[in-house]
A and B are shown apart, each in its own frame.
Chain A
């Protein structure tokens, strides 16, 4: 078995994918980071202090982890969901009673979404209380605040999609708040969001597109910049 793996790791096919050898020396450990597309956002060496769990509580990383979980469960839920009224609600019922593990999938997406709002907020508090918004990280703090707003909007647009009473009235209350904006701006924004004056089928399609495409793409771009700047400013 051991020789099998040794041969595998030495084979040309393996080495064409992972160009570095096994991470047995500091040189190959460094190469494991900077030859890897996903890991090269990290420096090859980090301060011992910043690896300590209670330095950051891993809150930024956990926010990203929740985003990954939400993307995977969300993509699977899209397979069983049609954004039209009242079909959307019957698809919820199918997820509950017909689709294998459908209820579990929906639970996972729902609880991860609630957790993400809380964890991103806690991440902001951690950054504030450790003073990590100080120069040169000012603008990354701003991106972080925008990402917090994006997280809340993602959660909020998803809230309408089950098309049950909770969804309908939750969104009605929220868009009524937006309507309070002065000079008729509120009405315009609310009309743009809902595709009408009340929460109806147009609103469902718009929230679906915002929730599954526009907001996740915007969040991903902002996250890319956020992580890149963390690294450039000397973080992990």
Chain B
């Protein structure tokens, strides 16, 4: 069939999944990536093009931090006193979203299940085909997509209503509204067109980030004594 060289300058492989792809044999020259290469990109020398930028970025970082450190002092309150509980007792800002969750849900749900789910969900992102797809949410089977979407959002809304979590309910409805825009509008250009090209993974991440930001902001700026709602101008606790 093929005349083989003594040195054999290629190796062959064949796909086994005949259902998915028609039988084919590929000959790949050694030391070439099997991936399809885009057109050759313009390259530049790392030194000095990249190294210089890195050095400048680091110097800017040090300068900005030094200026901030000259202007603002790190907080230091009275010595730790287990007898005197501040009201409210707050965790560091990056945990205030979690603390806000604990306000709504029982400790196991708010403090363990939901944060664990969030971390696991982040970890598994690249292992699901659906997250690798770059096609817009409404690209195909629009009716079916709409039904699945409304059903899932409906379940989330019922869950949030059961615990009266309006702080998560409102952002959820907000993001859903934006998701639905490309379904009702056929416009291909501008903001609507751009929304139409967003894949499912984009929407889920955007929803997650919106919730994280909203909860952290509420916990940081809008919660006072007994975790009651306080406006920032009434004092930040």
Contact = CB atoms under 8 A, between A and B. Distances in A.
Interface string A102-132: 0110111111101101000000110011010
Contacts of A162: 76
A2 interface: no
Nearest to B201: A128
Interface string B78-122: 111110111001111111001100100001101110000001001
Nearest to B106: A180
Interface stretch (A4-12, A136-144, A220-228): A136-144
A69 interface: yes
Which 4 pairs of residues, A with B, have the shortest CB-CB distance? A180-B107, A168-B80, A107-B69, A138-B126
B57 A62 contact: yes
Contacts of A180: 107-108, 110-112
Given A106-B74, A111-B65, A128 B125 contact: yes
15 contacts: A33-B46, A45-B43, A46-B46, A48-B44, A65-B61, A69-B65, A85-B80, A93-B76, A107-B68, A107-B70, A107-B72, A107-B73, A129-B205, A135-B126, A186-B112
Interface stretch (B18-26, B47-55, B163-171, B175-183): B47-55
Interface string A152-172: 100110010011111111101
A92 to B, nearest CB: 6
A33 B44 CA distance: 13
Interface residues of A, number: 82
A29 interface: yes
A212 interface: no
A99 interface: no
A129 B202 contact: yes
A48 B94 CA distance: 36
A39 B54 CA distance: 11
Given A61-B54, A62-B61, A138-B127, A47 B90 contact: no
Contacts of B99: 173, 177
Contact of A48 (B41, B74, B110, B132): B41
Contacts, number: 194
A180 B102 CA distance: 10
Interface string A7-42: 000000000000000010010011011000001001
A165 B84 contact: yes
B45 interface: yes
Given A135-B126, A149-B119, A165-B86, A110 B77 contact: no
Given A149-B119, A168-B81, A182-B108, A51 B41 contact: no
A169 B89 contact: yes
B66 interface: yes
A23 B47 contact: yes
B236 interface: no
Contact of A165 (B62, B72, B77, B98): B77
A85 to B, nearest CB: 7
